Amino acid sequence: MDFNKLIERVKAILLSPKTEWPVIASEPATVADLYKNYIAIVAAIPVVAGFIKGSLIGYGMFGIHVRTPIGTGLVGAVVGYALSLAVTYIMALVIDALAPSFGGQKNQVQALKATAYAWTASWVAGIGVLVPFLGWLFALAGLAYGIYLLYLGLPHTMKCPQEKAAGYTAVSIIIGIVLSWIVSLVVAGIVGTGALLGGAATSALSGSGSEVSFDKDGALGKLDAWSKKMDAAGKQLEAAQKSGDADAQSKALGAVMGAALGGGDQVEALAPDQLKPFVPDTLGGLPRTSMSVQRNGVMGMQVATASASYGDDSGHSLQLEVTDTGSAKGMMAMAGWAALQNESETDRGYEKTYKQNGRIVHEQWDKVDKHGEFSLVLGDRFTVKVSGNAESMDQLKAAVASLNLAGLEALKGHGVKNG
């Protein structure tokens, strides 16, 4: 295995994808070669980073530090790695099956190339989990840029017409989201996912012919429009590549990812002073004991967070987190378009995600420890979460409801510059 060659390929697909995709498409390869020389190595990056973070470094918040036991962490890493390798191949089969519907040519090896090299961005971004606080933002950036890479690569690998690449990408991504959900069901021991995947693919396509159209207000229509905005944003990166200026290339890459995460818009997150009013002095009848408000930026992206602890001498405590996803608002909107719901329940408690009044809502409750979390997404941009010990989930819901949610949601357009 030539690691220097692998590193050069990773750099090329991330920094100059428009010139690298034709090279990739023309290279002779087999499924085994792609796995042995590229996929198996690059896909291990987020797995190793996750193990280091979870079992060696640990997670900490509000004075509590938690590490996953080494044994458990290793088992999770092995299972996660195996699933990652399997899902990569399954996604390639999906892309291959969709090719004729978008005027492309079926070829499983080329489909695996499209999947593997597009997912490079997400795999490399997985190392971001080691970065305190901003790790999740790296993950979103990798996902967004990976979608863009797939959009650029399909015309070369699957020979689809350029004008159909956006639709091909949109349908592939939606099915990919469903596929991820199916994998979670497999892990939980639920059977019969093949029918679900087939149904998702059938409903995603408007017909079996080569012409596919989308409702502009629907999930696929919005993703189609977003892909086209990404193409326009990518011209910045192309110009920077031609300049040969390394600093300009880095800034251009950051600008592209910022535009991608923002759904085609450039977004400036709220300043700390603008977030402070949404952190009250008391919450659920408990006084505030600490507060932290900050805005961070990296590679053209911004996010702002306000966190606070509330408690009394009797041991009652609540934690509040208000986050302006800022530059990642486009990804928050995409989550809303997908409108995925899930619910699980055990003897100990339950967890569920659903949509209510246009908002994504998440609940998690442990009835043994009387501990839970209630969070929601406002305006496809802001997240509000209250967690802690309580008598019931209703107490956490009431705490969230007491906040100025309407005032925060009204700021969803603040700092947004249309792309």
Residue 194 has pLDDT above 90, yes or no: no
Q: In terms of pLDDT, which residue wins out, 253 or 397?
A: 397
Cα–Cα–Cα angle for 128, 125, 291, rounded to 5 degrees: 35
pLDDT of residue 398: 95
What sign has the CA pseudo-torsion 397, 402, 405, 406?
Answer: positive
Same domain, residue pair 249 and 358: no
Inter-residue contact 166 to 228 (CB < 8 Å): yes
The DSSP secondary-structure symbol of 374 reads E
Question: Residue 390 sits in which domain range?
Answer: 272-417
Phi, psi (deg, nearest 5) at residue 194? -60, -40
pLDDT of residue 171: 78
- Residue 234 confidence class, pLDDT cut points 50, 70, 90: low
Residue-wise pLDDT for 87-114, tens only, equals: 888 889 889 988 988 899 999 999 999 9
pLDDT of residue 153: 94
Residue 415's nearest CA partner among 297, 315, 320, 309 is 297
| DSSP per-residue letters across 218-270 | SHHHHHHHHHHHHHHHHHHHHHHHHHT-HHHHHHHHHHHHHHHHTTTSEEPPP
Number of domains the chain contains: 2
Residue-wise pLDDT for 364-404, tens only, equals: 898 888 899 998 888 878 889 999 988 899 999 999 999 99
pLDDT of residue 102: 87
Residue 279's nearest CA partner among 415, 137, 416, 400 is 400
Instruction: Give the three-state DSSP class for 348.
Output: coil
Q: Is residue 266 part of a domain?
A: no
Same domain, residue pair 210 and 317: no
Same domain, residue pair 225 and 278: no
Same domain, residue pair 139 and 189: yes
Same domain, residue pair 243 and 364: no
How many residues make up the chain in this entry?
Answer: 419
Residue 268 has pLDDT above 70, yes or no: yes
pTM higher than the cut 0.75: no
Average pLDDT, the chain: 75
Residue-wise pLDDT for 132-172, tens only, equals: 555 666 777 777 788 889 999 999 999 999 888 888 887 78
Q: How far is CA 365 from CA 120, 234, 319, 390, in A?
A: 36, 43, 15, 10
Q: Which of 215, 235, 261 is a domain's end point?
A: 261
Q: Is residue 267 part of a domain?
A: no
* Whole-number Å distance between alpha carbons of 232 and 234: 5
Q: Is residue 118 part of a domain?
A: yes
Residue-wise pLDDT for 12-66, tens only, equals: 999 889 999 999 999 999 988 898 889 988 888 887 777 676 655 555 544 444 5
Same domain, residue pair 247 and 307: no
pLDDT of residue 249: 59
Residue 211's nearest CA partner among 271, 254, 171 is 171
pLDDT of residue 61: 45
Same domain, residue pair 233 and 321: no
Same domain, residue pair 250 and 351: no
- Residue 290 confidence class, pLDDT cut points 50, 70, 90: very high
Here the tokens at position 89 are 């191949």
